């Protein structure tokens, strides 16, 4: 047991059903299960807690993607997030994602990468809500100020990633890749598609997602008030042209941030 009453499943018990079914999802062989247990042990992870918002059969996890499943784990008496590669993933290992996460960390962005192996990525555990749930949960006075502060912080993070040369690659779908923790602090997650080799589009992608298109942007505009779309598009084009500082400052001014 851990301090909040969750049940910790030890590494030894992960070989059993139903745990093994998720440990080496979706095709758990004795070899793949054993390999992942050895990798967890090598990273100092003592066990996994099958808790989270996503139900898979009899168990729950923090998340599920095309590359891996994300679990709560315990290492050195503290909670961590553990992403374990799916056996049917097109990614051959977690090495690239770990490298991209460490690069983001150098720019001061994202949860801390705590360790990695071929099939396992150990990360800082974060409590929070995905962007759509977070904005839907905001009620009463102060809502506009909270949204302003969080959106501004997100855009600032994108500018820092752009300056570092790391393109996240998935911020046009920020509902899957941004978590908001206590204090309305936003975190950019999931670096499996990130690259240091292609042109960066973090700021423009996120600004479009939050302010220009889709259901989430409509929720934001209802809270913040109307946005001059033509003027914003002009600043995004200016940003792409290389005048990043001028475009960023102009965008914030237009939004009254």
Both 26 and 115 in one domain: the answer is yes
* Per-residue pLDDT reduced to its tens digit, 166-195: 999 999 999 999 999 999 999 999 999 999
Domain boundary among 124, 140, 167: 124
- Shared domain for 238 and 140, answered yes or no, is yes
In this structure, the answer to whether residues 136 and 114 fall within a common structural domain is: no
The span from the CA of 48 to the CA of 39, in Å, is 13
Q: Which has the closest alpha carbon to 104: 121, 87, 84?
A: 121
Indicate if 57 and 120 belong to the same structural domain.
yes
In a domain, 214, yes or no: yes
Residue 3 covered by a domain: no
Q: Tell me, yes or no, whether 112 and 138 share the same domain.
A: no
| Residues 32-88 pLDDT 10s | 999 999 999 999 999 999 999 999 999 999 999 999 999 999 999 999 999 999 999
State whether 244 and 134 are in the same domain.
yes
Residue 33 lies inside a defined structural domain of this protein: yes
How crowded is residue 226: how many other Cβ atoms within 10 Å of its Cβ?
Answer: 7
Question: At which of 86, 109, 124 does a domain end?
Answer: 124
Q: For the segment 131-173, what is each residue's pLDDT rounded down to a tens digit?
A: 999 999 999 899 999 999 999 999 999 999 999 999 999 999 9
Coil/strand/helix, residue 188: strand
Whole-angstrom distance, CA of residue 182 vs CA of residue 129: 9
- Which CATH number do you get for residue 112? 3.30.200
In a domain, 153, yes or no: yes
Burial class (CB in 10 A: 0-12, 13-18, 19+), 92: exposed
**Do 117 and 234 belong to one domain?**
no
Look up the pTM and report it. 0.94
Say yes or no: 117 and 142 in one domain. Answer: no
Please answer whether residues 237 and 161 qualify as being in contact, where contact means their C-beta atoms are separated by less than 8 angstroms: no
E-assigned strand segments in 145-184: 178-181
Shared domain for 110 and 132, answered yes or no, is no
């Amino acid at each position: 047991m851990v301090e909040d009453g969750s049940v910790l499943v030890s590494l030894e018990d992960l070989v059993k059903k139903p745990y093994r079914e998720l440990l080496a999802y979706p095709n758990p062989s004795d070899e793949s299960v054993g390999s992942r247990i050895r990798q967890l042990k090598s990273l100092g992870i003592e066990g996994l807690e099958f808790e989270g918002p996503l139900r898979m059969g009899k168990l729950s996890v923090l998340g599920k993607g095309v590359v891996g499943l994300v679990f709560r784990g315990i290492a050195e008496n503290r909670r961590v997030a553990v992403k374990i590669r799916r056996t049917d993933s097109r990614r051959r290992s977690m090495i690239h994602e770990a490298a991209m996460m460490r690069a983001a960390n150098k720019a001061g962005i994202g949860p801390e990468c705590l360790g990695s192996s071929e099939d396992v990525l150990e990360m800082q555990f974060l409590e929070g809500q995905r962007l759509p749930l977070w904005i839907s949960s905001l009620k009463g006075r102060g809502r506009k100020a909270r949204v302003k502060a969080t959106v501004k912080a997100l855009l600032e993070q994108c500018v820092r990633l752009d300056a570092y040369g790391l393109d996240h690659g998935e911020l046009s779908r920020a509902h899957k890749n941004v978590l908001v923790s206590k204090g309305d602090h936003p975190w950019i997650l999931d670096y499996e598609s990130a690259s240091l080799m292609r042109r960066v589009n973090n700021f423009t992608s996120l600004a479009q997602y939050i302010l220009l298109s889709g259901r989430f942007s409509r929720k934001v505009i209802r809270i913040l008030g109307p946005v001059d779309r033509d003027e914003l598009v002009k600043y995004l084009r200016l940003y792409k042209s290389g005048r990043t500082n001028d475009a960023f400052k102009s965008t914030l001014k237009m939004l009254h941030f």
